[in-house]
């Protein structure tokens, strides 16, 4: 008769669960603001996920960059317009820098906030990007509350700004308002939802498969296994204590190890039994599929974010996909972000802003360097003037290569 006593417990080196879609498990209720997510920390969760998935973050970065464009074109006779483009606020940010941050927030969180500052006489105009993670809508839905840490909200520390087009006078004598950009989503009236929301799950999969690879690396690519412990225990509590001590000693690195407590024979010592894995290919395929699904969730193209390693570089394909993205994603986002800015410039400064447009350029050169500027502008559907000396320059003369002679 075998009198060996066996107590089996599973201990996982990295057993602590990590938050993927929520920072806190508590549910927030307030009479002062509309919560953003059950724990009111949805922006933090979205930001955290973007920092965990290389593909997800790369697409968000690239989207914001493409939407912000390469600068602005405008009627140079409109001096006030030129000043706003060059310096949009007291921090010295250009209008493109402000627009780029708005585009980033909107791509990441489905919401973006732009603070507008002027005075009674409309003698100046400043446009400030406000970090969307700091903003919440007030309960009456006519103001935005700005707070530095929503996990420890104190109403006396919050700044309160009216939603555009309403302006309110502040303690410093300025008139301020805030524009709320948001992605439309049925059933969500207070905050927008990022367009990639259906891809949150696959972003988590990509992150977990990356963690699996890191775990293998930190364990010198040693696969998980079973640790047989030669010890005796009189109770389940004692067995638990022994297993936890062994876990701390032998399972310091991430990886899944099963600890088996066993009172064996005299020569039956503790030993580790590796468990071979035959499904490494499945992990790789899972990661590749998750990457593809992330791209689809973003309504984006792999070539525009440098994700098509196997297909190689194809300028023709990049230009084609850029044109599709321009007409299906980029131009619409630009129009949504720029329209209220142009309206505010006209209402506040009395300056015609109709000529203000974002300059878009493909990620690779699409026109021959021997083409003149006015010819390129004509080809892009922009205003052009054949008699303008600046537009008589060849594209080669205004590129970073500065090829001044064409044989």
What's residue 280's pLDDT? 55
What's residue 26's pLDDT? 73
What's residue 242's pLDDT? 67
Which of 115-124, 218-227, 232-241 reaches the highest mean pLDDT? 115-124
Distance CA 270, CA 170 (A): 72
pLDDT of 177 over the 90 cut: yes
Is the model more confident about 371 or about 60?
A: 60
Mean pLDDT of the chain: 83
pTM, full prediction:
0.75
Distance CA 40, CA 150 (A): 7
Angstrom distances, CA of residue 146 to CA of 105, 137, 161, 162, 261: 15, 9, 8, 11, 55
Of 246, 255, 253, which is closest to residue 227 (Cα–Cα)?
246
Task: Concatenate the DSSP letters of all residues of 16-82 into one string.
Answer: S---SS-S-SSPP--SSB--SSTTS-HHHHHHHHHTT-HHHHHHHHHHHHHHHTT-EE--TT-HHHH
Domain ranges within the chain, ordered by starting residue: 1-16+224-276, 31-196+300-363, 199-215+279-297, 367-407
Percentage above 90 pLDDT, the chain: 54
Measured over the CA atoms of residue 183, residue 187, residue 189 and residue 190, the dihedral's sign is negative
């Amino acid at each position: 008769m075998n009198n060996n006593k066996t107590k089996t417990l599973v201990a996982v080196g990295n057993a602590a669960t990590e938050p993927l879609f929520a920072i806190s498990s508590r549910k927030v209720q307030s009479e002062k603001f509309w919560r953003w997510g059950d724990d009111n920390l949805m922006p933090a969760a979205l930001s955290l996920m973007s920092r965990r998935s290389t593909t997800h973050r790369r697409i968000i970065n690239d989207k914001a960059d493409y939407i912000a464009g390469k600068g602005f074109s405008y009627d140079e006779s409109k001096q006030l317009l030129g000043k706003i483009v060059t310096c949009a606020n007291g921090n010295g940010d250009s209008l493109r820098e402000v627009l780029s941050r708005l585009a980033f927030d909107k791509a990441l969180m489905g919401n973006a906030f732009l603070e507008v500052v002027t005075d009674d006489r409309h003698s100046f105009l400043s446009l400030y990007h406000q970090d969307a993670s700091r903003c919440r809508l007030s309960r009456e839905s006519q103001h935005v509350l700005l707070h530095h840490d929503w996990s420890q909200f104190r109403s006396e520390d919050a700044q309160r700004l009216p939603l555009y087009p309403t302006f309110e006078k502040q303690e410093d004598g300025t008139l301020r308002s805030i524009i709320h950009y948001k992605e439309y989503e049925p059933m969500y009236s207070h905050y927008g939802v990022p367009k990639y929301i259906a891809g949150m799950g696959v972003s988590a999969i990509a992150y977990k498969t990356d963690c699996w690879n890191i775990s293998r690396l930190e364990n010198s690519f040693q696969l998980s296994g079973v640790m047989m412990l030669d010890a005796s225990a009189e109770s389940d509590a004692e067995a638990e204590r022994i297993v936890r001590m062994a876990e701390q000693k032998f399972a310091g690195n991430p990886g899944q190890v099963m600890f088996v407590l066993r009172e064996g024979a005299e020569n039956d010592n503790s030993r580790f039994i590796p468990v071979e894995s035959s499904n490494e290919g499945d992990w790789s395929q899972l990661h590749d599929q998750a990457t593809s699904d992330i791209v689809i969730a973003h309504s984006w193209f792999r070539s525009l974010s440098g994700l098509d390693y196997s297909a190689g570089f194809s300028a023709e394909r990049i230009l084609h996909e850029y044109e599709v993205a321009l007409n299906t994603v980029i131009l619409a986002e630009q129009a949504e972000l720029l329209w209220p800015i142009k309206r505010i410039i006209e209402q506040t400064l009395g300056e015609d802003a109709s000529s203000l447009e974002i300059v878009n350029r493909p990620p690779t050169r699409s026109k021959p360097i021997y083409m003149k500027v006015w010819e390129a502008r004509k080809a892009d559907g922009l205003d052009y003037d054949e008699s303008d000396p600046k537009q008589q320059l060849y594209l080669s003369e205004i590129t970073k290569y500065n090829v001044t002679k064409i044989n």
